[in-house]
Amino acid sequence: MKPLVAAAAPIIPTFGGGAKAFACERANRLFCWNWFSENWSSILWPALRQHVVLCLIAIAFGLAISTALALAAYRHRWVERPVIVVTAILYTIPSLALFELLEPLPGFGLSRTTAEVALVSYTLLILFRNTLTGLREVPEDVRDAAAGMGMSPRQMLARVELPLALPAIIAGLRIATVTVIALATVASLIDDQGLGVPILTAISNDVFKTELISAGALAVLLALFADGLLVLVQRLLTPWARARIP
């Protein structure tokens, strides 16, 4: 972990050039458009890309694991309790601590793995509970009719139960996604990737506001964008949920 200490004396970003340029940066005003556009492709855009990749991997694994667990709990009731206990503990442990606790384990260390494992841990509780609840809330008469028509359990799952559980699953996915995107800024302590990097750099530069706000805003915008995207996905996948009497 890189130790970070706010510098005692102001450090002015130097990018070469004369004294007149970078007046905005030197004054550390709220937002220097110039700096932003100059450093977009070298700092901000790569960080954003890395952030997206980091989060996508975490969400994908989180979804896969929690769905598998939820399906198991759906078939065998006893699975629910232990899973809830473990995922709740993981969820409760503050992110900083979880990152550190994972670090000394073999194969982890200051790497992508540690960051991903920690991020995935935060998604499990929400995704597991939502998926399980979604499955359980499939109406009893629908299940009876499906069985009575001759669907095998696997067919029922694929054609009836999972599709009907989608709204709840996607709701959980929205929450998990936004959470991960915000949390991943701290993950850069471990992995040196993502939007947390410019944030931490800015902090160590006597809190260079422009860089901080740029990266922070990008994270927020990314999260809102992802949330909106998932809402769209839900509308596409569940047209029946919004059907009104014509």
Partner 1 sequence: MGTGADPMSNFTQAFKFIGRNGQIPGDPPFPTLVHLSLETLKVASLAMGISLLIAIPIGIWLGHIHRGSFIAINLGNLWRALPSLAVLAIGVAFLGIGLKNVLLALVVLAVPPIITNAYVAIDQVDAELVDAARGMGMTGWQILRRVELPLGVPLVMAGVRTAALFVVSTTTISALTGYSGSLGEIINDESSYHLYGVLGAAICIAALALLLEGLLAGVQRALTPRGLKATHAVSGSDALAPVVTEPSVEPAL
Partner 2 sequence: MNRLHTARPEGPSAYPQAAELELRHVQKRYPGQREPAIPDLSLKVEAGEVCVLVGPSGSGKTTAMRLINRMIPLSGGDILLGGRSVLDRKPVELRREIGYVIQQIGLFPHLTVRENIATVPKLLGWDSQRTAARVTELLELIGMDPAEVGPRYPSQLSGGQRQRVGVARALAADPPLMLMDEPFGAIDPINRAHLQDEFLRLQARVRKTVVFVTHDIDEAIKMGDRIAILRQGGRLAQYATPAELLTDPIDEFVAEFVGRDRALKRLGLSTLADVKLLSLNGAEPSDNRVAVTATVRDALSAVLAAGGAPLTVVGGEGGDQVLGVVTLELLGGLLGDGGLPDPEATPETAPESSA
Neighbours of 44 (CB within 10 A): 19
Q: Cβ(116)–Cβ(65) under 8 Å?
A: no
Tell me which stretch binds partner 2 (CB under 8 A): 72-80, 90-98, 150-158, 210-218.
150-158
| Separation of alpha carbons 190 and 97, rounded Å | 12
Q: Among 142, 158, 221, 229, which residue interacts with partner 2 (rule: CB under 8 A)?
A: 142
Other CB atoms within a 10 A radius of the CB of residue 232 amount to 10
Judged by beta carbon, residue 112 or residue 147, the one nearer partner 1 is 112
Dist CA 26 CA 222 (whole Å): 29
The minimum distance between CB 108 and partner 1, in angstroms, equals: 7
Backbone angles phi, psi at 207, to 5 degrees: 50, 70
Minimum CB separation of residue 136 from partner 2 in Å reads 16
Q: Is 243 in the site for partner 2 (CB under 8 A)?
A: yes
| Contact call for residue 145 and partner 2 (CB under 8 A) | yes
* Closest CB to partner 1 among residues 24, 93: 93
Residue 141 is a binding residue for partner 2 (CB under 8 A): yes
- Cβ nearer to partner 2, comparing 27 with 232: 232
Residues of this chain that interact with partner 1 (CB under 8 A) are: 1, 3-6, 28, 84-85, 87-89, 91-98, 100-101, 103-106, 108-110, 122, 125-126, 129-130, 133-134, 167-168, 171-172, 174-176, 178-179, 181-183, 185-186, 189, 195-196, 199-200, 202-203, 207, 209, 212-213, 215-216, 219-220, 223-224, 227
Residue 68: name its binding partner from partner 2, partner 1, none (Cβ under 5 to 8 Å by kind). none
DSSP-based three-state secondary structure for 106:
coil
Q: Which does 94 bind (CB under 5 to 8 A by kind): partner 1, partner 2, none?
A: partner 1
The sign one gets for the Cα dihedral 191, 195, 196, 198 is positive
Q: Distance between CA 149 and CA 155 in Å, rounded?
A: 11
Q: Does 171 bind partner 2 (CB under 8 A)?
A: no
Helices (H), the chain: 23-26, 33-39, 45-75, 80-92, 95-102, 112-136, 140-148, 153-156, 162-191, 196-204, 209-237
Contacting range for partner 2; rule: CB under 8 A; set: 70-78, 79-87, 93-101, 139-147: 139-147
d(CA 171, CA 234): 9
143 binds partner 2 (CB under 8 A): yes
Say which DSSP state 81 is in: H
